[in-house]
Structures are given as C-alpha cells and as structure tokens.
Amino acid sequence: MHFDPPLIAARLLRRYKRFLADVELPDGQQLTVVCPNTGSLLGCLREGAPVWLSHSASPTRKYAHTWEMVSTADGTRVGINTHIANALVREAIDQQVIPELQGYAGIEREVRYGREGSRIDLLLRTADRPLCYVEVKNVTAAVSDGVALFPDSVSVRASKHLRELINVVAEGARAVLVFCVQREDVDEVRPADAIDPVYGAILREALSRGVEAYAWRAEVSPKAIALTTQVPVICP
C-alpha cells in the first residue's frame, strides 16, 4: 500500500478521547488529527514522538488529517491505523504473499455472517473448496525480545469474532485469523493474557477446534506499508 502523496511528518503532543490527537508540524503549527485506533496504543504513546499523517481533501471531514504511524523510542515505525489492516491483507493475498490463502477465485469484503450478528473481514470463495472466512486483527503492541501482543486492551468484540470463527468451522467452512503486524521489530505474536485473559482462553479454544491463525509482519515507511514476512503465533 503506497501513500500518495507521502505522509506528513509531525510530532505527537497528546492523544485524547480515543479518537483524537494533537500534533505539531515542523513549522510549529499545531493540528488536531483523527486517531484511527481505539486501543490503548500500548508502547506507542510517547510525548514528542515522531508521527506521520495522511491528508484528506474531503470537504465533509471535520479534521482533515489522520494519524497513520508513530516512531517508538528505539526508532521503530509502527502503523497504528487499524482501518487499513484489511486492505493490507487483501493486497498480500492478491500479490500471492500469503500462501495459505491462495487458490480462491473471488474475495468479498464485510459480509454478514454468524450467530452473533458479525461481519467477516474477507470471505474467500471458489467452486471446489469450502468457504474461507478471514478475520483480520491489527497488531501494534510489542514487548521485549520481539514479542508482539494482541489485544492491547480488553476487547469483547475480538472475543466475539473468535466465537464466530469456531462456529464457522463446526458448520464445515474454513476459518482463518490473520494478525496484521504493522511494525518491523516483531518475531512472534502471542495473546496478551495479562491484559485480556478471556481473549487468550478463547483463542486457544479456537485453535484446538480447527481455526487457523497466522501472523504477517509489515515493512513500514512514510511512503508505503506492505506485509512481507510471516512470524509464528505462539500460544503456550
């Protein structure tokens, strides 16, 4: 995924109300921007941190800029926009980057399904195989030694999606969970049991019942983000 034009550099002042952040441009101008991530942004919130913004020319938007990525204390760029995770996975499928999701003739987005009134991120179809339901989760939080964690705050919605995937497998279809890791310093993804033990327990149940889980790490720059490298999902 290329940013055209390239993202705008700024400095983070503060994030508040979950959906907003204040930043300062290199010329000293201060802006309020949209924060497209409702999580805690664990490890990604640091006053004065370099950030990068996209700009929209839409006249209907109250805030024209969106916070897209941030640099951690050690200089790692992290893509915080959860709204582009689905597009990154779709692009990786189209470019044959994810071998486990090849061989399907068509892909649909945001299809209603499930017993709890959900929408699947990607639905893969082909004539001679069961339907493949793909749920995408954006990963931004990481701890030491290259370990990424999901979720970074309690997520009732994420647990609901796992229950839906368990039901999909029971009904004869294929269910796949893809962790989209928008940072380059990650070697594995683990459930954040200390943050959301319910999610961790349901993830382990889902894996035991045939739900597949994969994690793909992105290369991140102000010009482009793309999934390039598979890393293991570890559930000890």
57 and 104 both lie in a single domain: no
Range of the domain at 12: 8-79
- Quick: pLDDT tens for 67-100: 999 999 999 999 999 999 999 999 999 999 999 9
Cβ–Cβ under 8 Å, residues 131 and 120: no
Task: Report yes or no on whether pTM surpasses 0.85.
Answer: yes
Q: Identify whether 2 is part of a domain.
A: no
Residues 6 or more apart whose Cβ sits within 8 Å of residue 188: 146, 147, 148, 215, 231, 232, 233, 234
Positive or negative, the Cα torsion across 81, 158, 206, 176?
negative
- Quick: pLDDT tens for 88-135: 999 999 999 999 999 999 999 999 999 999 999 999 999 999 999 999
pLDDT of residue 142: 86
Of 79, 101, 131, the residue that ends a domain is 79
- What is the distance between the alpha carbons of residues 222 and 143, in angstroms, rounded to a whole number? 23
- What is the distance between the alpha carbons of residues 97 and 85, in angstroms, rounded to a whole number? 15
120 and 202 both lie in a single domain: yes
CB-neighbour burial class of residue 207 (10 A; exposed 0-12, middle 13-18, buried 19+): middle
114 and 215 both lie in a single domain: yes
SS3 of 27, please? coil
- Quick: pLDDT tens for 195-231: 999 999 999 999 999 999 999 999 999 999 999 999 9
- Six-digit token pair at 86? 């689905």
- What is the distance between the alpha carbons of residues 34 and 36, in angstroms, rounded to a whole number? 6
| Band of residue 144 on the pLDDT scale cut at 50, 70, 90 | confident
59 and 131 both lie in a single domain: no
Q: At residue 5, does pLDDT exceed 90?
A: no
- Dihedral over alpha carbons 210, 178, 147, 155 (to 10 degrees): -90
24 and 119 both lie in a single domain: no
Average pLDDT of the residues in 31-54? 94
SS3 of 223, please? coil
The count of structural domains within the chain is 2
What does the H/E/C string look like for 167-202?
Answer: HHHHCCCEEEEEEEECECCCCEEEECCCCCHHHHHH
CATH code of the domain covering residue 96: 3.40.1350.60
Q: Identify whether 35 is part of a domain.
A: yes
129 and 224 both lie in a single domain: yes
- What is the distance between the alpha carbons of residues 145 and 158, in angstroms, rounded to a whole number? 25
133 and 56 both lie in a single domain: no
Q: At residue 31, does pLDDT exceed 90?
A: yes
CATH code of the domain covering residue 56: 2.40.50.580
Of 31, 58, 79, the residue that ends a domain is 79
- Six-digit token pair at 127? 């004539």
pLDDT of residue 205: 98
50 and 122 both lie in a single domain: no
Q: Identify whether 1 is part of a domain.
A: no
Q: Identify whether 3 is part of a domain.
A: no
Q: At residue 145, does pLDDT exceed 90?
A: no
Q: At residue 143, does pLDDT exceed 80?
A: no
Of 79, 111, 130, the residue that ends a domain is 79
**Cβ atoms within 10 A of the Cβ of 195, count?**
19
Q: Identify whether 66 is part of a domain.
A: yes
Percent of the chain with pLDDT over 90: 93
143 and 227 both lie in a single domain: yes
40 and 87 both lie in a single domain: no
139 and 212 both lie in a single domain: yes
Mean pLDDT in the chain?
Answer: 96
pLDDT of residue 66: 97
Percent of the chain with pLDDT over 70: 100
98 and 112 both lie in a single domain: yes
- Quick: pLDDT tens for 167-202: 999 999 999 999 999 999 999 999 999 999 999 999
Calculate the alpha carbon distances from 233 to 4, 187, 213, 223 in Å: 33, 9, 7, 28
